[in-house]
Amino acid sequence: MQVDQFMESNFSGLSLRPPLFYNWDVGIRFELGVDYDFDNIYENCPYIRGVYDRAITLFKKVHSPADDLFMVVDVHDYADGEVFKRKLNTFSKYIKKKSVLYKLQENTIPFVYPEDDEDGEYKTHRFTLKCKAADIAYIPLLKAICNQDMALQPKIFHYVYFINITKKTIFHVYDDRGCDLLAASPETIRGIFESYNEWILDYDREKIDQVFAE
């Protein structure tokens, strides 16, 4: 099964682009970063440790090692003359077995934000790897995603989506502020909703509570 087929079967009508939470009926938006202090951001500071801990904990709870996943990475090409690097180290760095990388596929698709591309010059390179959750070195990968707006290394600027084929969920850390967890059915993620309820972003809590109301 290809990722497009999976999305059409389980998340029909959903475009794989942020903000996912606001474009699907069943989801949770978690707050990762708490008590941000611009003047006190440094490697391994309390704020960053808290961000990492929440992102890693949620990933572990959503994905069992044997789950089949699509790991999807979108690289935006703004046609600004820069040479596009076809070798994407997001995969080579964070996939444990190099043999798994032979399954990596690349497709060039229309720019995922067409409203920001009036002249139609931009495009998105979508890399997709079908693998097991256990194949992903998710701890350093999540840290690099969370670092994207921080003066910390390593960092990843690209959108990275973890699409769980087994559980029919989508997990997306958008930056140190938070992450979205979507599901085809509320029951799939009800346990996570209950266990990590205090991590839910208060701004969206009312909407999320309605999804899981019995």
The residue with greater pLDDT, 61 or 88, is 61
Round the average pLDDT of the chain to a whole number and report it: 92
Residue 193 confidence (pLDDT) above 70 = yes
For residues 184-201, give the mean pLDDT.
98
Tens of pLDDT, residues 28-84 = 999 999 988 878 888 888 999 999 999 999 999 999 999 999 999 999 888 764 545
Burial of residue 213 (CB within 10 Å: 0-12, 13-18, 19+) is: exposed
SS3 64: coil
Task: Compute the distance between CA of residue 188 and CA of residue 182 in angstroms, rounded to an integer.
Answer: 10
- Is residue 69 within 8 A of residue 134, CB to CB? The reply is no
For residues 147-175, give the mean pLDDT.
94
In angstroms, how far is the first alpha carbon of the chain from the final one? 34
For residues 126-141, give the mean pLDDT.
97
Q: For residue 83, what pLDDT is reported?
A: 45
For residues 154-177, give the mean pLDDT.
96
- Is residue 169 within 8 A of residue 186, CB to CB? The reply is no
